[in-house]
Chain A
Amino acid sequence: MDNSYESVMLRKNAIMRQSVGINYDKYEADYINFDYEAMLKEGDFTLEQIREIQINSGVGNTPLKECKNITQLVRKVSKPGFGARIFIKDEALNDSGSFKARRASISCYQAKKMGFKGVIAATSGNYGAAVASQAAKYGLKCIIVQECYDSKGIGQPEIIEKARACEAYGAEVVQLSVGPELFYKFLLLLEETGYFNASLYTPYGIMGIESLGQELVEDCLKLTGQVPNMVVCTNAGGGNLTGTARGIKKTTEKKVEIVGASVNLKGLHMADDHDFNLKSFTTGHTGFGLPFIMNPDRSDVPRSAARPLRYIDRYVTVTQGEVFFMTETLAILEGIERGPAGNTSLAAAFALAKEMEKDKIIIVQESEYTSAGKHHQAQLSFAKENGISLYFGDPQEEIPGKSIVFPKSVDMIKVVDIDLEIIKKKYIQNQIFKTKKISENDVDFLVAETNSNKDFVLNEIKKYKVTLEGEHE
């Protein structure tokens, strides 16, 4: 068989179809739309079943903890009467140390049920350890494919720690240098082994997080008698936000504001061999967050089940310096030592809580484990070795890849809003570029995808050379 880059990429769809056991074609309709809700019923799981599968595999029922000292700190820098109560869902306590175990649990359960001998996931993040841990429970073989080193063989310490964790759970770890062709090796491995593609973006990868959304509403009601006013999700590929929001909607009819938060890594190219080790965050950043929210189907399955634009009410960025600052604050004020990337939403929540009245509740919906390599001390010393300057000042001065600026006072922790209207327009543009013609159902699809309205979508469509069916063609 021809295993050149071009030939393997041409076999992509066939390999994908074989390796996830989902016929994505049956959901496709008209010119651009597909039946998202029908796809999310793949496997016929109820949320109750998801929770049972997870409880039986060391996942879920993590505690919701009130960060009382951090809330007091917010109130020190808020207007009188302001400073919402901040809670954190301590997802680090799932087996393998992050909320990603929720996603892996359903994928591995399904792989076992369908008779696959093993699972493969392409990830440099916590998801690798999650899949390896869940695969161990189901007696499945496991390969994790990581982008880990630059071409000189220097590894990002956080990713090296994840490789160690994957190996600790018995997985084979295939490590690659920087480049999007990781996907090529991933396809070759799927073809060679016939294993299940435990993609983050299958319906299973999203259903598994709905339990998190449900739990946090239930936990909050138990602790406070209230439904949270706001839930902040660290956003990269969009699955975390999508699954959490879906779970919340299935649990309460009350409006819960869903906020996505990413670390601002503007200017650093994700596929650049040189930039690779200049970033102190390997996930939860705008390098994934922005492209995926504007074009979710760029993932490793034909149709991504992670579609954050459907659910997000507000999208904010914070800086690396602010997240490191809050990571240390969580340890020093709350006695909870957790990994930096998962604290992106905590840094955002801190700033957002200032704008909300005291009786309001804001939930940071995840934490992640920390350790050698991942720990903020490890990341900051690695940044110094790579010539990044560290100083105290206004975090807005930070230049990703050149500086990490810690807030010189607590009141300088801020969020910067990303204009969701622009994102929605870009999303529509990306969809329209695929077609010359669209149907009424396609328009409804775009309305749902952008959580907007018909006028907004029709107004955007007018800007492009595309014919609406039924109009004069």
Chain B
Amino acid sequence: MIKTGSWVQIKKVVLQPDERAVNLPEATKNVPLLLWVKGYLLKDANIGDETEIRTLTGRIETGTLIAVNPFYTHSFGTFVPEILKIDDIVKSTLYEGNQ
């Protein structure tokens, strides 16, 4: 059980596929428009429950509870060896004959 007042993230459907704008590419018009937002949980709930939150600007949003204390995991990615080759190309061009 996640307690009232916890910092959480919810997800909701804003528009179902049949409510979406016209002239969308195929891959987009067949899926719903989704929304993610964070805020304070207004009532005790479990992950997966429909719930209400108060956002940082004081707005109330409802949606499916998906995370508590959500955090970032984006990074510098895995190593890309091509970058070393770029270094080699520019340095050998600039300093050719000097090294």
Which residues of A approach B to under 8 Å, CB–CB?
A: 4-5, 69, 72-73, 76-77, 118, 141-143, 148-149, 151, 153, 155, 157, 160-161, 164, 167, 170-181, 184-185, 192-193, 269, 271-275, 324-325, 328-329, 332-333, 372-373, 375-382, 384, 390, 392, 406-410
Contacts and interface: CB of A to CB of B under 8 A. Distances in A.
A192 B13 CA distance: 18
Contacts of A193: 57, 59
Contacts of B21: 5, 179-181, 184
Interface of B: 11, 14-15, 19-21, 24-25, 27-28, 31-39, 55-59, 72, 74-80, 82-83, 85-87, 89-91, 93-94, 96
Contacts of A5: 15, 19-21
A179 B74 contact: no
B94 A73 contact: yes
B78 to A, nearest CB: 5
Q: Which 3 A-B pairs have the closest CB atoms?
A: A381-B77, A151-B31, A373-B74
B74 A161 contact: yes
Contact of A392 (B25, B78, B79, B82): B82
A332 B91 contact: yes
B56 A172 contact: yes
A406 B82 contact: yes
Contacts of B35: 174-177, 185
B24 A271 contact: yes
A173 B38 contact: yes
Contact of B90 (A176, A177, A333, A372): A333
A377 B33 contact: no
27 contacts: A5-B20, A76-B96, A77-B93, A141-B57, A153-B11, A153-B34, A157-B77, A172-B37, A172-B39, A177-B31, A179-B21, A179-B28, A180-B24, A184-B21, A269-B25, A272-B27, A329-B86, A329-B90, A332-B86, A333-B90, A373-B75, A377-B79, A377-B83, A384-B80, A390-B82, A410-B89, A410-B90
Nearest to B88: A332
Nearest to B25: A272
A408 B91 CA distance: 13
A164 B75 CA distance: 12
A69 B87 CA distance: 13
A149 B77 contact: no
B77 A185 contact: no
Given A324-B86, A332-B86, 11 more contacts: A118-B57, A148-B36, A151-B31, A151-B34, A153-B34, A157-B77, A167-B38, A174-B36, A175-B35, A275-B27, A381-B79
A187 to B, nearest CB: 12
B83 A328 contact: yes
Contacts of A73: 90, 93-94
Contacts of B34: 149, 151, 153, 176-177
Nearest to A164: B72
A143 B57 contact: yes
Contacts of B86: 324-325, 328-329, 332, 406
B80 A181 contact: no
Contacts of A376: 83
Contacts of A375: 76-77
B93 A409 contact: yes
Contacts of A176: 14, 33-36
B47 to A, nearest CB: 15
A297 to B, nearest CB: 18
Given A148-B36, A177-B31, A408 B76 contact: no
A36 B24 CA distance: 32
A375 B96 CA distance: 28
A351 B55 CA distance: 48
Nearest to A9: B21
Nearest to B77: A381
A380 B83 contact: yes
A305 to B, nearest CB: 26
A185 B74 contact: no
A310 B77 CA distance: 41
A8 to B, nearest CB: 11
B80 A381 contact: yes
A69 B85 CA distance: 18
Nearest to A332: B87
A179 B37 CA distance: 17
A269 B58 CA distance: 36
A390 B15 CA distance: 37
Contacts of A382: 77
A73 B37 CA distance: 47
B20 A181 contact: yes
Contacts of A380: 77, 80, 82-83
A403 to B, nearest CB: 12
